[in-house]
Structure 1
C-alpha cells in the first residue's frame, strides 16, 4: 500500500505539478504470490488520467517472468496545483529527448499530453525477511513520437485495470499494448495522420476475427501461466495448485475452473467443450423431469399445455389461421419463428404418437411419453433458443461478420419478442444501411407465409397484434420491477387510464435505455469523424465508408455488453406487461461480463449477487410450478461451481459485502418464515410482495451500475471531449 501511495504521487509529479496533493482513494489488489526470497520485483506507476481536480494513477507490480502479481490504484486531489504558476512546463524538445526530471527546461511552452510514468526499476525480497527493499528508482517521462495532429491516449477514468488490457479475461480481446504504456491505445489513434495510410491502404491487416478471444485461447492462457507459476511458487503453493487451486485468485477458484484445469493437465483439453455441453443438457433434462407449469390443473392447465397446444394447431391448420384459432384457449402469441419451431416439434412428435397432438382432442394430455418428448425445463419453455440466437449474433459481431450477426438477431426477435430488450443497444452499435437492408430482408423471409400470394394481406396484422399484449394490463403477477414495487403505495391502475400507462411506460423505458445508446452512437461518431479528417485525399468515398464502418464496429464492441445490460434492465424495470422470467434477458450480457471477471473483482461479486437475486425473484413462480427442489439444488450448485461464498468474511469492498449479506439474510428470512408460517388472511400476497421489495432495489442499482460502466468504457475508447 505504501509503495502504491509513493509511486502514485511520483507519477503525478512527472506531469509538472508543483504539489501532488492529498490522497482521495487508494488500494492494492494482490493477484498471486510475489515469489521466493531473493526474487526481484518491478513496479511501474502510470498516470491514467488527470483533470482540474483529480489525478488517477495505477501501479503494476511484476515478477521476473513479467507476470503481474499485484496492482494498485491511487486517486489524488490536485485542484490546488491546477494552473499554478509554479508548475513545470515541459517543452517539446525535453519530451523528445526524455530528459531527466531535474534537468527539464521550464520554458512556458505547452507540450501535448503525454503518457507519464514513475518506475521502480527493481524491488527485491530479502533472503531472511519479508520486507521489501528498494534497490534503485528513477523517474522517467515517456513521449510518443508523432505529428501535432496525434490523438492523446484516452483512458478510462476509473483507477483500475483497463477493460481492454490483453491479460484481462474479458469476452473481447483488444490489440497489442503500446511499447510505452501498459494500456492499449485508444481506437481513435488509428485516425491520426501518421497512421492514416496504414488504415486506408489495401495491404493485409488483422481482422476482427483475429482479435477476438476464443474459449480455447483463454484456457491456453491459464495453462501457460500455470506452468510458469509452478516454477516460481514455493512448495506449499505448488501443492495447492496441483490440488486444483487458482493461481490468479488466491485459491478462491470455483469447482468449474478447477475441473477445467484438471482436464487440461490430464491432456483432455479437446473434451472440455463437449463435457460442458453434455453437463448442461443433463441438468436441463433432470429439471424437465420435475414439476411444470399447470400440471393437473384443468381446464386451462398452464404454459406447458400452451407449448403443446401450439404444436397441435400448427400441424392441423393453415398458416394464416395460426394466430386466429380459438384465442381463448392458449392462442398463439409469439412471433412466427416460434410457430415454425412448434410445427417442426409437432410433426416429429406426431410420428412418434399421433394422439399427443390431435386437434382439440389432445387438450390437457399429460402422458409420461409426451412429457419426456416436450422436455419443458422448468417454467422457461424454449427461451434458451432466443438467447442462443442473440449469443450467436454477438459472436458474429465480434468476428467481423456483421451480416450473419444481423440475421441471427432477427431470428432472435422472430422467435420471441422479448429480444427487443436488446434492440436499442445492438441497433445503436450497428447503424449501417447495409445491415438495415439485411435486417428488413430477414424479416420479410420470416413473415412471407403471412404475405400475398400465400395469404391475404391483412394476415400480417394477426401475429403483430398477438405478440404485443397491451390488453393484459400494466402487470399481472408480482414481478420485481418498478411498477409492481411502487404499486404497493401508488395505485397506478386505479389512478390512470391504460392508454396513459402505455405511453408512460414507453417513455420511461426509452429514457432508461438512452444513456447507453448515446454512448454507442457517440463513440462510433467520434471514430468516424476522426477517420474522415485524417483520410488521405487519394482515398475513394467507397473505401472510406467501408473503413469507417469497420472502425465503428470494432470500437463499439467493448461497450456493447454493458449497453445490452443497461437496455434490457431498463425494459425489465419500466416496460409494459413484464413477466418474471424476462429477467433472463439482462442476465445474458451480465454473465458474459461475469465470465471474464476474477473471483476477487467487484464485477464478479455484483454479477453473482444479481444472478442469485434474479432466481429468488422467480421463486413464487417456481414454487407454484412444483420446482422447489431444483430451485434450491441448482442455486447452491451454481454458486459452488463459481466458487462463491456469500457468507465469507469480507477482506475488501466491505460496504458492498455487508450490503450483500443483508440481501442474502433477507432472502433466507423470507424462505424460513414462508416455510413455517402461512400469510395473514388480510395479506395473502405478503411473501410475493416481500420478494419484490428485496429484489427490485438490486435490479435498480444494477441498471444504474451498467450505465456508469457503459459510460466509463465509452470514455476509455473515444474520450469525453469534442473534436480534437
Structure 2
C-alpha cells in the first residue's frame, strides 16, 4: 500500500544546502540578463508608470507582463539602500559590487517561493510503505531533482534570471491541482501568466483540464446536466480579476497595444541567438546542407542564395537559402497541431490531475519544439514538472533521464568562459549521477531505465561535449567557424528532445492505464 508523502527533517537541510551553494556563485560570471534586470529596476523606480513600456534608453527594454514590472519596482525599493546609482536609467551596464550583491541575493531570497512549492509537490507523491532508505523515498528524490536542478542553478545563479521564483508559482499551481484545490491552482497560474507570458505555452492544458474536470462534474462523459455554471463563473472571475489588476492601469492609459508589442516582438526572428534544440534547429541545418550541396552540384548559384544568418548566432529576421522561410503564423499552426492530441485526450479521456500534468508537459514541449524565437532555457518548463512523474513511474523515469540530460547539456553554451567549464561540468555530473542512481533504486530496476538506443545516444552526447568543450577551443577552426560548437550542440540535442517528446506522447495516448515497461 502507498501512503501520501510528507517532508521530514531532511527537507530544510536540502533547501539550506542549495541556498548556500547559490551564495558561492555571487561573484561568478553573469550574462547580459543581469543588465536587463538592472535596467528594469531603474525604469520602474525612476520613471512614472506611463513611461515603463515606452522607455528605450537601453536596448534591453521592459518586455515582461505588468505584474513582473511591479515585482521589479518592489525590488528597487530595497535596492536603493544598496546602491542608488543602479537605479539611474542612464547608467548602462552598471555593475558595482553592491549592485551585484543585491541582484544575486534577490534571486536567492525570492527562491523561497520555489522551495515552498517543492515541499508541496513532495507532499503529493506516493511513498512506499516501510521504506527506510532515504533514496527509496520518492519525496526525497523529488526534492533533490527540483531543488538541486542543474538547469535552474546555472541559468538563475550564474547566467542570471528569476526562473526559480516563477517556477515556484507553476509547481505550486500543479500541486494544488494534485490536491484537488482547483481554484487555488487557477489563481496561481493566472498570477504566473501575468508575471511571465512564456507560460502561455502550457495555458491550453490548464484551460481544457479545468473546463472538463472542474466545470463538468461527471468525469465519465461530457453531459450538460453535469455542467456547473457557478464553477465556470468562479474560474472566469479569478482570471479576469488577475488580468484586470495587471493590465488595467495600462488599458486605462491607452497603452495596451504598446505593452503587447513589447511582449510579442515577432521581429526578433525564428531562432534565438543560442539555438534552442528544437525542430527549427534541424530545419536550419537541413537548409544549410541543401544550399551547400546545391552549389557544389552546380544546381544553385551561390550568389543567388540569401545569406543564412541563422548560422551566425544572430537573432534578426532572415530568409532560408533553399527551404521555405518560416513565418510566425507557420510556427503557431505547427505548435497548435503538436499539442492538439494532448488537449483532446484530457477532454475525451480524463485521467485526473496526473493526466493533466502529462498534457502540461506535452504542451510545454510542443511549444518548445515548434514555437517562434524559443529560448533554450524554456526546456526547463518540461524538465521540472516531469520530475514529479519520474519518481512515480518507471517509464517516465527513463524519459526524464533522457530529456533532462539532453536538455541540460543544451544549456552549456550559456556559460562559455573557461572559468565556467569546471563549474558546469561538475554540477551537471553530480545532478546526472544522482538522477540515474536514485531513480534506478527508487524503481527497483534490475536493468537500465533506458533502452539500448537511448544509452548509445547519451554516450554520443559525451563525444559531442568533449569535441565542443575541449577539442574545438584548441583547434584552428575556432576563429573561422566560431559558432560550430553551438550548431553541433543544438542539432544533436534536438534529436534527444524530439525523441523524448514522442515518447511522452505515447504514454499519454496509450489505451491502457498502466504504461508498458521499456
User: TM-score if structure 2 supplies the norm length?
Assistant: 0.72
Matched, 1:489 2:269: no
Matched, 1:641 2:434: yes
Matched, 1:468 2:294: no
Structure 2: distance between partners of 1:476 and 1:657: 29
Matched, 1:621 2:414: yes
SS at match of 1:494: coil
Tell me which of 464, 475, 480 is aligned to 2:277. 480
Structure 2: distance between partners of 1:642 and 1:683: 35
Structure 1: distance between partners of 2:506 and 2:436: 27
Greater helix share, structure number: 2
Does structure 2 retain, via aligned residues, the 8 Å contact 1:290–1:626? Answer: no
Matched, 1:663 2:392: no
Does structure 2 retain, via aligned residues, the 8 Å contact 1:313–1:359? Answer: yes
Aligned ranges for residues 185-334 of structure 1 at < 5 Å?
213-216=4-7, 269=8, 271-293=9-31, 302-326=32-56, 328-334=58-64
Change in 2 beyond 3 A, CA 1:655/1:482: closer
Change in 2 beyond 3 A, CA 1:651/1:406: closer
SS at match of 1:315: helix
Structure 2: distance between partners of 1:678 and 1:395: 51
Partner residue in 1 for 2:100: 371
Offset from partner CA, 1:95-118 (integer Å, 9 cap, x none): xxxxxxxxxxxxxxxxxxxxxxxx
Larger RCO, structure (CA 8 Å, separation 6 or more): 2
Runs of at least 5 residues in structure 1 that lack an aligned partner in the other structure: 1-165, 168-172, 174-212, 217-268, 294-301, 525-554, 718-724
Does structure 1 retain, via aligned residues, the 8 Å contact 2:66–2:247? Answer: yes
Shift of 1:655: 4.2
Matched, 1:609 2:402: yes
Partner residue in 2 for 1:448: 248
Partner residue in 2 for 1:20: none
Structure 1: distance between partners of 2:458 and 2:248: 50
Does structure 1 retain, via aligned residues, the 8 Å contact 2:277–2:491? Answer: yes
Change in 2 beyond 3 A, CA 1:561/1:640: same
Q: Which has the larger radius of gyration?
A: 1
Partner residue in 1 for 2:359: 563
Matched, 1:573 2:373: no
Structure 2: distance between partners of 1:607 and 1:698: 11
Structure 2: distance between partners of 1:622 and 1:381: 13
Partner residue in 1 for 2:481: 683
Runs of at least 5 residues in structure 2 that lack an aligned partner in the other structure: 105-155, 216-231, 289-307, 309-317, 440-445
Offset from partner CA, 1:658-702 (integer Å, 9 cap, x none): 343333333334333234324355533211111112100000011
Partner residue in 2 for 1:99: none
Partner residue in 2 for 1:514: 340
Structure 2: distance between partners of 1:479 and 1:337: 27
Does structure 2 retain, via aligned residues, the 8 Å contact 1:572–1:578? Answer: yes
Partner residue in 2 for 1:28: none
Structure 2: distance between partners of 1:595 and 1:463: 41
Structure 1: distance between partners of 2:360 and 2:419: 32
Structure 1: distance between partners of 2:101 and 2:506: 45
Change in 2 beyond 3 A, CA 1:627/1:671: closer
Structure 1: distance between partners of 2:241 and 2:428: 42
User: TM-score if structure 1 supplies the norm length?
Assistant: 0.53
Partner residue in 1 for 2:114: none
Aligned ranges for residues 421-432 of structure 1 at < 5 Å?
421-431=201-211, 432=215
Shift of 1:380: 4.3
Partner residue in 1 for 2:235: 435
Does structure 1 retain, via aligned residues, the 8 Å contact 2:376–2:411? Answer: yes
Structure 2: distance between partners of 1:380 and 1:400: 34
Structure 2: distance between partners of 1:489 and 1:444: 45
Structure 2: distance between partners of 1:667 and 1:500: 30
Note the aligned Cα RMSD (angstroms). Answer: 2.7
Does structure 1 retain, via aligned residues, the 8 Å contact 2:190–2:242? Answer: yes
